[in-house]
Amino acid sequence: MLTQEQNETLCRVGPGTPMGDLMRRYWVPAALSWEVPEPDSPPITIKLLGEELVAFRQTDGRVGVVGARCAHRRAHLFWGRNEENGIRCVYHGWKFDCEGACVDMPSEPEESNFKDKVHIPAYPTVEAGGVIWAYMGPPEKKPAPPLFEWTQVPATHRGISKVWQQCNWLQALEGGIDSSHINYLHGGKPPGQRYDDNTVAGRARNLSGAPVIEVVPTDYGYTYAGIRTLGDEGNYVRGYHWIMPWYQLRPGIPSDSGASGHMWVPMDDENTIVYNMHYTFPEKAAHDHLMDPSEASTPVWFRDAREPVGAGNAFGDDVDPSDNFRATRNMDNKYKIDRELQKTTTFTGITGTNVQDRAVQESMGAIADRTLERLGTTDRAIINARRTLLKAVKTVQDGGEPPGVAPTYYKLRSRETVLPANVQWFEAMKPILFQIDGPKAPATA
- Residue 26 one-letter amino acid: Y
pLDDT of residue 191: 62
19 Rama sector, left if φ>0, alpha if ψ -120 to 50, beta otherwise:
alpha
pLDDT of residue 445: 38
Contact 69, 121 (CB under 8 A): no
- Residue 431 one-letter amino acid: P
**Alpha helical stretches, state H, 52-102:** none
- Beta-bridged to residue 133, according to DSSP, are 29, 126
pLDDT of residue 89: 98
| φ, ψ of residue 69 in degrees (nearest 5) | -120, 140
Question: Is the peptide bond preceding residue 254 cis, with omega within 30 degrees of 0?
Answer: yes
pLDDT of residue 300: 36
pLDDT of residue 439: 38
Q: Tell me, what DSSP letter sits at residue 315?
A: B
**What is the spatial distance between Cα 29 and Cα 52, in angstroms, rounded to a whole number?**
15
**What is the spatial distance between Cα 334 and Cα 376, in angstroms, rounded to a whole number?**
29
Count CB atoms within 10 A of the CB of residue 129. 22
Residues 428, 433, 438, 442, Cα dihedral to 10°:
60
First-to-final CA distance of the chain: 39
**What is the spatial distance between Cα 134 and Cα 123, in angstroms, rounded to a whole number?**
6
Question: Is the peptide bond preceding residue 191 cis, with omega within 30 degrees of 0?
Answer: no
pLDDT of residue 197: 61
Count CB atoms within 10 A of the CB of residue 421. 12
| φ, ψ of residue 329 in degrees (nearest 5) | -105, 110
Question: What pTM does this model have?
Answer: 0.91
**The domain at 27-141 falls in which architecture?**
3-layer Sandwich (2.102)
Domain residue spans in the chain? 27-141, 149-433
Q: What Cα–Cα distance (Å) separates residue 299 from each residue in 233, 281, 306, 346, 352?
A: 37, 22, 10, 24, 17
Q: Which fold has domain 149-433?
A: Naphthalene 1,2-dioxygenase Alpha Subunit; Chain A, domain 1 (3.90.380)
Same fold across 27-141 and 149-433:
no
pLDDT of residue 190: 63
pLDDT digits (tens), the chain, 445 positions: 799 999 999 999 999 999 999 999 999 999 999 999 999 999 999 999 999 999 999 999 999 999 999 999 999 999 999 999 999 999 999 999 999 999 999 999 999 999 999 999 999 999 999 999 999 999 999 999 999 999 999 888 888 999 999 999 999 999 999 989 988 898 776 666 665 666 666 666 666 668 999 999 999 999 999 999 888 889 999 999 999 999 999 998 767 788 999 999 999 999 999 999 999 888 876 655 444 434 443 333 333 444 555 688 888 889 999 999 999 999 999 999 999 999 998 899 999 999 999 999 999 999 999 999 999 999 999 999 999 999 999 999 999 999 999 888 888 999 999 999 999 999 999 999 998 754 344 444 3
**What is the spatial distance between Cα 320 and Cα 330, in angstroms, rounded to a whole number?**
12
